[in-house]
Amino acid sequence: MRYIALDIGKKRTGIAVTDPNRIIATALETVTTNNLVEFLKIYLQQNEVIKIIYGMPVQMNNIPSEAVKYIEPVINRLKKVFKNIEFIPFDERFTSKMAFQTMIDAGTKKMQRRDKSLVDKISATLILQSYLEREKYSL
């Protein structure tokens, strides 16, 4: 049974997934946010997923950021379609910056770093790996 993480944006959503033992997070795909439900329907037919962790952007003062107004409707729609899956918000502060830095550290060329879909996938992976770490230490 896997977990999925979503880094939801206005245009694109980065998706990451765990291995069946929920030890490591891996970038899966970036899809247009409008096609997210269809992508997940297909993925969930082939893979058992028990949690969807989604990035919830919070400002430095812990107040939800402006992005919440387009993230919440997407999550509400997903909850209606995927009723048997637990949805968990996760503070995604700095994940885009961390994703970009990860790309630099990995030696990703400048043109590749401009690929927003790659940043979205890496951000989702960072959200998921952070969630796994927190879950491991809270047991």
pLDDT tens-digit readout, 86-130: 999 998 755 555 555 565 565 656 555 455 666 788 889 989 988
Spatial separation of the C-alpha atoms in residues 7 and 103, rounded to whole Å: 17
Query: Are 25 and 102 a contacting pair, CB within 8 Å?
Result: no
Domains of the chain by start residue, with CATH: 2-138 (3.30.420.140)
How do residues 51-66 score in pLDDT, each as one tens digit? 999 998 776 676 666 7
Characterize the bridge pairing of strands 49-56 and 12-18: unpaired
Alpha helices for 47-115 (secondary structure H): 68-81, 95-105, 110-113
* This prediction's pTM: 0.82
